[in-house]
Structure 1
Amino acid sequence: MSAAVAGTALPPRPPGAVDPRGPRFAAAMTSLVLAATVLTGSVVLLGVQALLFAVTVVLGVGRGPWAWLFRGLVRPRLAPPTWWEDPAAPRFAQLVGLVVVGAGLLLAAAGVPWAVVGAAAAALVAAGLNAVFGICLGCALYRALPRRRL
């Protein structure tokens, strides 16, 4: 259904902006990977998630693997977005996720017990909050950082 048919006008898309449902979809997919990691304790799965975070940080949230899947399979089945999101905050959230799971991988390599499960569980809480409730902790941190500098 087009925005004109629905009786609402879609705001123009600013350069680089993303459909806000895309990062939430990515959080849902990330939650699945992290839940499997918590259940299995697999360092390989945590490494896969680190790689997914890294690709999204480097390419941007609109070009990451989950964004590609969202654009190709999910978004065509949805109504147009009612607003566009600046990708800076979700990209920072991906960086925070990369730091958390990266720390878990480093600690696991150093022989720290439960490092994989602990890092995956911490990241799962954040991803789950975003996926289920739309609460992005990394985005909130991104928005709070400039105020702390003053």
Structure 2
Amino acid sequence: MTDNYLLKLYHKTLGYPFGRALFSRMFAAKAPYFKSIKPTITELQPNYCELTFKKRKAVQNHIGTVHAIALCNGLEMAMGALAEASIPKHLRWIPKGMTVNYTAKADSDIRIVASTDPQAWKLGDLPVIVQGFRRDGTLVIDGVITIYISEKPPRKSA
């Protein structure tokens, strides 16, 4: 078993009824805008996160498809969970930039995937691949979120 706090929490909550939903709500509470898409993290492991959210009125635009910001919220949440589940304890991360391409209409429930190279956890920029898919598997959003990796400052003694 891992000593990563987020992975421990994820695996612990999976043992409860509705554990994935419980974990997803807890993680989404870290950034209130994540809650707006009502996501469910379906898989979390080092260097990989997958989540889903339903197409519903609150995330639709004027033409009835999932709006761009809802898609980007999903990408950012998956990246954040991946980063917290993967980063070595002596390092910290912060988002630096995001580039996305909208490749097809998002006219169904959405599955978001974030992934990165396990060897990439070094000081400097780290690209996290983020993608969103319709129910039929069609890619609807494709991008990279660059996070900046730095050393944690030394702890001050009390």
What TM-score comes out, normalization by structure 2 length?
0.28
- Structure scoring higher RCO (CA < 8 A, sep ≥ 6) equals 1
Q: Which has the higher strand share?
A: 2
Q: Which has the higher helix share?
A: 1
What TM-score comes out, normalization by structure 1 length?
0.29
